[in-house]
Each structure stands twice: as C-alpha cells, then as structure tokens.
Amino acid sequence: MSESLFRNPIWLRQHVRDVLSFYYPAILDTHYGGYVAQLDEQDGHVYDARTKHLVATARAVHNFSVGVMLDGPVWCLPAAERGLTFLKNGHWDDTHEGYDWILEGRDTVDATRHCYGHAFVVLAGARAHQAGIDGGRETLERAFEVIDERFWEESNGLCADEATADWSELSSYRGLNANMHTCEALLAAYEATGEDRYLDRAGVIASTVTRDLAESETCHIWEHFTEDWDPDFEYNREEPAHQFRPWGYQPGHHAEWAKLLLVLHEHDPESWHVPRATELFETAVDIGWDDDHGGLYYTVDRDGEPVVADKYGWAHSEGIGAAALLAQHDDAYVEWYDRLWEYADAHFLNPRHGNWYGRLSRDHERDGPNHGVAVEPGYHPLNNAWVALEAFGE
C-alpha cells in the first residue's frame, strides 16, 4: 500500500482544522446564542443571521466536539459547549418534549418533529460526551428517549419519520434517510457510553435496511416507503433534487450504508457485514460514477440513468469514509479512496479556505451560491476525514 498525501495523518488533521477554522468564529451567534451556520461557501460571509436549523446546530456541536477529541484549537471546547446549550435552551420544547426543527432567532417557526433531526441531536450529545463536555450524555439520552418513544416501530425494526408539533399525528411517510442517521447516531452513542442497547438497535436498523429492504438481485436500496414499508416509487418524483428526500437511488447513501456496516462490524462483528458493505460500495460506484466527467451523480433512476447529475460534496466524503474502512479489509479499496480524494481536492475543496462546496453541476461549475437554510457546516467532510485518520493513521 503506497503512501499518498490523502492518507497522511498530518494532512488529514490539518484538513479537519481547515474545515473548523472556516466556520470559526463567524458561526458563533453572539446575539441569539448558538450558531449562525449560514456561511457562504466561497468567502465565509453570513447570508442569513437569524435562521437556526436543528440539524445544522447539532452537526456543528459534533464538529467542534471532534475537534476537542483531536486536540484541535482551544476554541473547539467553548464552541461545542455553546451549541450544546442552545440545543437545550433554544431547540428543545419542554411542553411537548421534542426538538423544534427551525427557529428564527429564538422563536420557533417550524416545530415539526423529525426523526432525522432528533438523530443528529443524539449524535451531537454522543460526541460531546466523548469529548468530556458536561451535558453531552444528558442530551444524548433525552433525544434517544424521544426517538424510542415516538418514532421507533419495534415490529418493523425501523423508525417512523415525521410528526406534528404536539405529536398528535404521525406522517404515513416512511424513509431511509432518517433511519440511516439514526443508525449512525446509535453507533456513536455506543462508542460514547458502552451501552449495548444503542449498539443492538443500530444493528437491527442496519440489518433491516441492508438485507431486508435492499433489492436482492441488484443490492439497490430505495429511499421512500409507505406506512406499511412497501416501496413508494412515485414519492417526490416531481422533486428530484429534494434536499432530504430526492426521488431515485442515491449512490452516496449506498456508500454511507457501507461505511456504517463497517463501523458496526468493528464493534459487533458478524460474517455478513463486510461482504454486504463491499456490495453496497460497489453498487454506489457502479450506478453513480460519471465516466465522462468524474464524480458521483446525486441520483439515478431505476434503469441506472442519472436523474440529477449534479455532484454533491457529502456523497463524495461518505465514499471516502467507506473506502477508508473497506481498505482495512481489502487493499484494493485504497485506489477508490485516493480517487475520491483526488476528485474532491480538484473540484470540491475551496482552494483559499479548505472548506467544501456543497454542490456542483455535472461538469463541476458552481451554478449558484448554495444559500439554503438546511446547511451542513462541514459535517460530512470533517467526519470522514476523522474516519480516514483513524483508519490510516492512528
């Protein structure tokens, strides 16, 4: 296994620091508390100083907590503490006992209960607890209790997706994005606490999705389901570029499931984990890789043709994490790891600041400033650089 820049622990640590440094200190909201996560990817200016998205808050807590664990800049600790406090005092609804989805300043404008958002709060609490931050475990346990009581469907081995603010109505939609990130968060909760209940639940979700719901002949995983967990092949057909629930197969999610299976295997190995992870990664690059321009398509249809041919940074960083872990079982996957990093370095990394662009066109143009509300403040790139650092360096 020859050495490359992208497998060098020093380079990976610096990349984590670059991502953190792009957001700090501009991300700190000194007026309302918590974070201002809406930073322009090119120059870092704040384009929305009021909106607070639950997922962005939780992801930033995760990032700064990882910075603490990696002995990063001294400001990582107070930055993580700030976000953890805001999850408790800003996003948490004590009346209905759930986390509010979107705030304007400190006022709730969308209190829809999303399993996806609660999963990221579990993740944030887990990483904060690992980093030795007070309140991390309390946050983890509170969010898990909500998921367990409100979303978990024992008979299906999966979570429901969405509920009204007062929990009076549960949406009939069932989806895999929420379950994937719940699985990820439960693995982190196990790593933080050593409690088997988190690992066991993660294992159930992973097995249900990657074995029971995956299409047996192709290993493709559809994203959208009915209340009875039958595939819904029409859901969001008219919104193919939806941020959380796009129509079509997502190559990036196939790679992400491969990564999660390999993390699960590290903690509770079973004979099927690595072969299935390998199949899922191979599926991701088989249906997703753009032979003409390079990179992974966002979505493809049931015939394998691209639906949204744009390239998303998160999909490539998840491919990097999956390839790094696969390479621990088969050296051949070092080639994919390096290839994905080379592509990201050429197209996604901001050459001035080292952060990642969120989305590019098929031929790598930035077709807009990506000024959305539901931003991810460097979570996918930082997290998978950390995965790679542990796989190749430490």
User: Does residue 121 contact residue 87 with C-beta atoms inside 8 Å?
Assistant: yes
List active site positions. 253, 380
User: Does residue 320 contact residue 388 with C-beta atoms inside 8 Å?
Assistant: yes
Count each helix (H run) and each strand (E run) in the chain, helices first: 12, 17
Q: Is 44 left (phi over 0), alpha (psi -120 to 50) or beta?
A: left
Beta bridge partners of 327: none
What gap in Å lies between CA 168 and CA 64, rounded to an integer? 35
Q: How many CB atoms lie within 10 A of CB 313?
A: 24
Helix then strand then coil, % of the chain, to nearest 5: 50, 10, 40
> Residue 390's closest CA among 325, 338, 313, 341?
325
Q: E strands along 316-386, which residues? A: 359-360
What gap in Å lies between CA 68 and CA 166, rounded to an integer? 36
- Positive or negative: CA dihedral 332, 386, 140, 58: negative
Contacts of 191 (CB under 8 A, 6+ apart): 126, 130, 267
What gap in Å lies between CA 394 and CA 385, rounded to an integer? 12
4: its two tokens: 């490359």
107: its two tokens: 């006022």
